[in-house]
Structure 1
Amino acid sequence: MENLDQQKKKLLLIDDEEGVLQALSLLLGALGHQVFPFSDPVKALQEVTAISPDWIITDLRMPEIDGFGVIEKRNTEYPHIPVILISGHAQEDEIEKAKSLGVKAVLQKPFDPSALTSLINQD
């Protein structure tokens, strides 16, 4: 049972699409992870220190601050926290930019949930 406890992660989930946010929260929560869902990236970034997540999972296209804004903030203030970028419309140049900024993976929506969970459990 100890191994299962070690696999549980604190996940900061950012997506302005409520349906995606709810579905991923339910899925990841059912797998035992502690999920902190935010539809507002500004509020999410204000809570990073308090939450101290193991992973940041963020959408690319959002109002106010996009996924690149989240990644840049992470790079300057929380470089130890790995990021997974999710998007339904990422172009090849955006994927390359995300990888050059240190994103662990880019998942195109819709994606197989097992791809996300296997990434989270790598650590």
Structure 2
Amino acid sequence: MDPSSNFSSYRSTLKAAMWRSAGATDERQRIVVPFFSLLVKDLYFLNEGCSNKLPNGHINFEKFWQLAKQVTEFIAWKQVACPFEKNPRVIAFLQASPVLTENGTCQFHFFDLRT
């Protein structure tokens, strides 16, 4: 994942996937899996970086429209039925995986997996 230009390569790929998904007749082509942490980052900075009101005191409808658009897209992605069979081993692994705190994540990155 290339973070240059605010993840422009990823954003272009996501836009193409959304276009493909919208016109797909095959259930497998309707699935879009976004990079969740980037979606959360975008929502956070949109909410924190844009004021709720404009300098003239009016409501900043552009901010709320952008927030609603991103949340609506996410809800649409979530509602697509997955045609793939669930793999119990993968589900068990994901459920047993530890949820790391920020410090735990940093420590994990410095852990040498070759030892």
Q: TM-score, normalised by structure 1?
A: 0.27
Larger radius of gyration: 2
- Which structure dedicates a bigger proportion of its chain to helix? 2
- Which structure dedicates a bigger proportion of its chain to strand? 1
Higher relative contact order (CA 8 A, sep 6+): 1
